[in-house]
Structure 1
Amino acid sequence: MSLIDTAVIGQGSSIELAALGPATVVCDYMSYVFMFLSVATSNMVATALAKQDTEEVQHHISVLLFVGLACGFMMLLFTWLFGAATLTAFTGIKNAHVVPAANTYVQIRGLAWPALLVGWVAQSASLGMKDSWGPLKALAAASVINGVGDIVLCTYLGYGIAGAAWATMASQVVAAYMMMRTLNMKGYNAFALSIPSGREFITILGLAAPVFMTMMSKVAFYSLLIYFATSMGTHTMAAHQVMVQTFCMCTVWGEPLSQTAQSFMPELLYGVNRNLSKARMLLRSLAVIGATLGLLLRIVGTSVPFLFPYIFTSDQMVIREMHKVLVPYFVALAVTPPTHSLEGTLMAGRDLRFISLSMIGCLCGGALVLSILCSRYGLQGCWFSLAIFQWARFSMALLRLLSPKGILYSEDIDHNRLQKLKTA
């Protein structure tokens, strides 16, 4: 959706295109902080289904819907009160001229926070049930609404960045409703909310805290990329916005590999018919698919900004900046899909402490490399830092899963480990 916004806005104004950079940090990257809701929902629902306990599935859904709704209203309030101040602090005095446009986008998009997070819970519950068709239909409808809305409101009615925000907000609300309706069609009540008990809150927190730290590390690193690009001027910031949105669009294609691991692995690791051999076979299949997908995406994903930059902007200075980062863009994109399959397996196995610590390590090392390379090579330095960050994630996850003491090889892992994690 942000890529659609980027393509439409880029045809009209380079300043508004640049404003999307800090605006998407607040709207999109901050939303990644709440990805723990998706991970917790998929994991808890898949594990409950592995035990064939439908009542527990419904209870998990109701509790997590309440948590998602509460977090959504909290973020709505935060956006309303501190959105402009956050953007001003992020962009700095030199780029204060983009703040009004960015704040307009953020305030409108912020209205969808409750629907967005509730929709994530409903979507992840369906995926935890190994149903991808319901979420697919919802997201397809949302993409159509967003695309048509952008064209009508921005191109024909001239609302600019505000029109793009209204189109995206409406599409997110529609997607959330459709995902909840999909759960209702499966026999679950997606409109029932339950306040978590103390023990349930601790269980969710046990899953959420490491995932939260993991996502915060990713968000922090991507935010640093935009922060450094923002300090390089309007045209460089606009070029980075185009490249980072196309990169994110390509990386999304690897997310199903992570979700597949989170949906199928719990049954093989903790279910009634626990089978580590099949779990390893599944991971090999996901890794092969990821490597193949990485090869395809780096070819297609690099060709679009190289051969068809006018899809996003007609500004030659912006296009030149885009072409400068194609090599590190290519290198970073290649490893992203297989990384998703590895990290999804670690999440399914609830090796969350390792994931969080390794991601924090990648953040610290990546931030240091970023500061050094950006000072010397500008925007190219940003993207080479991203490539190093992605390959470090892949290498650490692969070594962990190949370890004889890892979740896929150690036969000493107790069948009741899940219960121990809950009580802990």
Structure 2
Amino acid sequence: MPGTSPSAPSTTAPQGSTRELLRLAGPLMLSNLAYTGVGFTDTLLMGRLGVLEVGAVGFANICLLTLVLLFRGSLNTAATFVARALGAGDGAGVRRWASVFLGCALVGFPLALVGPWLLDGLLTLLRPDPSITAVTRTYALIRLWELPALLLGSAATAVMVGLGNTRTPMLLAWLVMAVNAALAVLFLFGFGWGVAGAAWASVIAVSLQGGLALLLLGRLHGPRFGRLRPARPTRAELGSLTRVSLPAGVTELAEVGAFTAFQGIISRLGPTELAASQIANQLGSLGFLPAFALAAATGSLLSRALGAGRPDLAARIGWRGTGLAAAFMGVLGLLFLALPHPLIGLFNRSPEVLSLGTRVLGVMAAYQILDGVAIVLGGALGGAGDTRFRLLVTLTGAWLVMVLGASWLAPRSGVTGAWGAALLFIAFAAVAYALRFASGRWRRARL
């Protein structure tokens, strides 16, 4: 809860004011900025190596997300369970749910072992250009080593967010950015390791973050709630995880999996088209900074309000967070329209990449406000535990509208046509989530 120490958060209902939302979301925005900075660093450095490396490393990151998001998305719901228990004044519930999610995060160890086979299967399905496949595989196989630390760190930071402590995850995110940038420069240009150097820099930085997240969770919140260590869920807890956490994880997997298939469609157009798309996507990720931060803050405060028996306050929090996200992302859309060439030129100044990237940014500018609405209302529904509706919207919109639409439009209208299909999906999701939230059905969702 903003205004309290991390080790002794308040158990009262949130006020739901704009100030409270921004105080909780502010550090998360800076956290997202740091994570985006990691992607920016890799993309900028790959731009010095060549157009092929820019597109392939971005494509590899999307493939890795596809492999891990079922688990990371499920673990992120720790914030919902912990915030609900906190709002109800249930300290034992906070400790138990934190321990259960840390136990579930141990799945990262077997996932890292089977990761190479999963990656090869994914690349076989996507069938990118052979030159892209070679670079993608080199980078991604190394990054698989970070998965255990990544998932444990994700669970620990989600628990902190549920407790209202967003400052510690922010500091850890900036540490990751600084370590990754320093090591990437050293490995690429000092040691001459190329793409592999960028991958090892990320592995070291993410592993450091995961270890520190576990340590700080215990140090900061252990004195208040007791020892927080991995625990096996009971049968009843497994039922809650299946009902709420699993659909959330499948939703993130389905959405990013759809985006991976979407990028696979673009990769078949050629390295230049993929590079332009990846650069524009890195710039578009700037819009996720306020949107995803506000989604996390909104979901946490909304869940806490429901735990305190205040559904009216929860609704007010949801709409207020949505309005703030739409305003932030609208400003970014204007920047995309006003400064496309300088923005694309930060990464690569090839005339072909500049031309294609400018057109993609034009499409992205058209959907920024809608994307803010979809992201925050989706987070609000998740905070209420209404995760199955989000899954239905994602399966319907991301795969039927975006992927199938892009597969038809890309051969006819190129990379711009493919992103037009993404615009249709985002509009569909924004309208669906707005109608669902307005209906109030999320108030009856059970954890």
TM norm structure 1: 0.89
The share of aligned pairs that are identical, in percent, is 21
2:149/2:210 contact within 8 Å kept: yes
Bigger Cα displacement from structure 2, 320-329 vs 129-138: 320-329
- In the aligned structure 2, how far is the partner of 1:33 from the partner of 1:243? 26
Partner of 1:50: 87
Following superposition of structure 1 onto structure 2, how do residues 178-257 of structure 1 map, counting pairs within 5 Å?
A: 178-188=212-222, 192-257=229-294
Bigger Cα displacement from structure 2, 221-230 vs 135-144: 221-230
Partner of 2:154: 120
1:119/1:176 contact within 8 Å kept: yes
Residue identity opposite 1:293 in structure 2: F
Partner of 2:394: 359
How far the C-alpha of 1:88 sits from its partner, in A, is 4.3
User: Are 2:136 and 1:99 aligned?
Assistant: no
Q: Please, which of 136, 141, 153 is the counterpart of residue 187 of structure 2?
A: 153
- In the aligned structure 2, how far is the partner of 1:32 from the partner of 1:4? 22
For each residue in 1:128-169, what CA deviation from the matched residue of structure 2 results, as whole angstroms up to 9, or x when unmatched? 001110100000111111122222222343222111111111
2:273/2:353 contact within 8 Å kept: yes
- In the aligned structure 1, how far is the partner of 2:235 from the partner of 2:55? 45
The number of residue pairs the alignment matches comes to: 406
1:261/1:344 contact within 8 Å kept: yes
Partner of 2:27: none
Q: Please list every run of 5 or more consecutive structure 1 residues that lacks an aligned counterpart in the other structure.
A: none
- In the aligned structure 2, how far is the partner of 1:82 from the partner of 1:89? 11
Partner of 2:205: 171
1:61/1:190 contact within 8 Å kept: no
How far the C-alpha of 1:47 sits from its partner, in A, is 1.2
Following superposition of structure 1 onto structure 2, how do residues 206-355 of structure 1 map, counting pairs within 5 Å?
A: 206-271=243-308, 274-300=309-335, 305-355=340-390
CA RMSD of aligned residues (A): 2.1
- In the aligned structure 2, how far is the partner of 1:89 from the partner of 1:315? 30
Bigger Cα displacement from structure 2, 226-235 vs 321-330: 321-330
Bigger Cα displacement from structure 2, 248-257 vs 126-135: 248-257
Residue identity opposite 2:195 in structure 1: I
SS of residue matched to 1:378: helix
User: Are 2:180 and 1:143 aligned?
Assistant: no
Q: Please, which of 44, 56, 62 is the counterpart of residue 7 of structure 1?
A: 44
1:257/1:337 contact within 8 Å kept: no
How far the C-alpha of 1:286 sits from its partner, in A, is 0.9
Residue identity opposite 1:243 in structure 2: A
How far the C-alpha of 1:281 sits from its partner, in A, is 2.3
1:22/1:91 contact within 8 Å kept: no
For each residue in 1:18-44, what CA deviation from the matched residue of structure 2 results, as whole angstroms up to 9, or x when unmatched? 221431122233333324334320111
Bigger Cα displacement from structure 2, 33-42 vs 156-165: 33-42
TM norm structure 2: 0.85
User: Are 2:178 and 1:162 aligned?
Assistant: no
Structure 1 residues 205 and 406: alpha-carbon distance in aligned structure 2, compared to 1, 3 A threshold:
closer
For each residue in 1:60-102, what CA deviation from the matched residue of structure 2 results, as whole angstroms up to 9, or x when unmatched? 11221121122x123211223343453344234xx21222321
- In the aligned structure 1, how far is the partner of 2:87 from the partner of 2:305? 9
User: Are 2:425 and 1:377 aligned?
Assistant: no
